């Protein structure tokens, strides 16, 4: 049996849809504004993204990016409202690129080794009042034939939702656990995804 590591908690926060598309705008290097932050800081553009940075530097919020040439993966948000709410700063090494409208942001996790998805916690500041689903899926690196749904929650009337997998869900290396939710009512939400590495 493989040994399991400590639980890892990844926090995401926003007040717009959980999943959005990026703008077709050049990534900007903002590393000089944060000289002590390594490997650097970049500005990513996304119209009315709604994502929020953590209240304290030691309590970061994250964002997951998919579809870019250089910035795919999980990143810490440093500034959630860089340009009138239409861009955010995140920790990453700067590489020149113009993002595209097919590039995505959402709450998600991916690791380069097999791991286990343990569960999640979701809180809204007010109960959802629209008929829509909150979904967590596996986006497989092998293609859509291997994509599976982990959980679908009808959100109308929901303010708090905690789910722990009866048995931790094995996730293959480089597969993405991906959250989608329309949040048509623009509720402020906080989401924690819980992972466990295998060692």
Confidence at residue 3, expressed as pLDDT on a 0 to 100 scale: 59
Residue 32 and residue 66 share a domain: yes
Residue 133 and residue 185 share a domain: yes
Residue 193 and residue 111 share a domain: yes
Confidence at residue 67, expressed as pLDDT on a 0 to 100 scale: 97
Domain containing 94: what range?
20-105
Confidence at residue 43, expressed as pLDDT on a 0 to 100 scale: 96
pTM for the whole thing? Answer: 0.94
Mean pLDDT (10-residue bins), the chain, 199 residues: 79 96 97 94 95 88 97 92 87 97 97 97 97 98 97 98 96 97 96 93
Residue 92 and residue 131 share a domain: no
Residue 112 and residue 91 share a domain: no
CA separation for the pair 107, 71 (Å, rounded): 15
DSSP string, 3-23: -EEEEEEEEEEESS-SSEE--
Confidence at residue 81, expressed as pLDDT on a 0 to 100 scale: 77
Q: What CATH number corresponds to the domain at position 119?
A: 2.60.120
Asked whether 125 and 191 are in contact (CB, 8 A), the reply is no
Q: pLDDT of 48-91, one tens digit each? A: 999 999 888 789 999 999 999 999 999 999 977 777 889 999 99
């Amino acid at each position: 049996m493989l040994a399991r590591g400590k639980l890892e908690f990844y926090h995401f926060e926003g007040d717009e849809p959980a999943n959005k598309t990026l703008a077709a705008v050049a990534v900007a290097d903002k590393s000089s504004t944060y000289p002590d932050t390594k490997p650097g800081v970049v500005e990513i553009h996304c119209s009315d993204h709604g994502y929020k940075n953590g209240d304290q530097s030691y309590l970061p919020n994250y964002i997951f990016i998919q579809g870019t040439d250089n910035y795919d993966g999980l990143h810490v948000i440093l500034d959630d409202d860089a340009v009138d709410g239409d861009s955010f700063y995140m920790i990453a090494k700067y590489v020149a690129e113009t993002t595209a409208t097919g590039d995505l942001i959402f709450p998600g996790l991916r690791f380069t080794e097999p791991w286990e998805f343990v569960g999640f916690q979701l809180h809204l500041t007010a109960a959802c009042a629209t008929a829509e689903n909150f979904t967590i899926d596996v986006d497989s690196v092998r293609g859509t034939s291997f994509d599976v749904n982990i959980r679908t929650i009808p959100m109308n009337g929901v303010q708090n939702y905690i789910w722990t997998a009866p048995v931790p869900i094995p996730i293959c290396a480089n597969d993405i656990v991906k959250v989608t939710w329309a949040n048509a009512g623009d509720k402020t939400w906080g989401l924690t995804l819980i992972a466990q590495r295998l060692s």
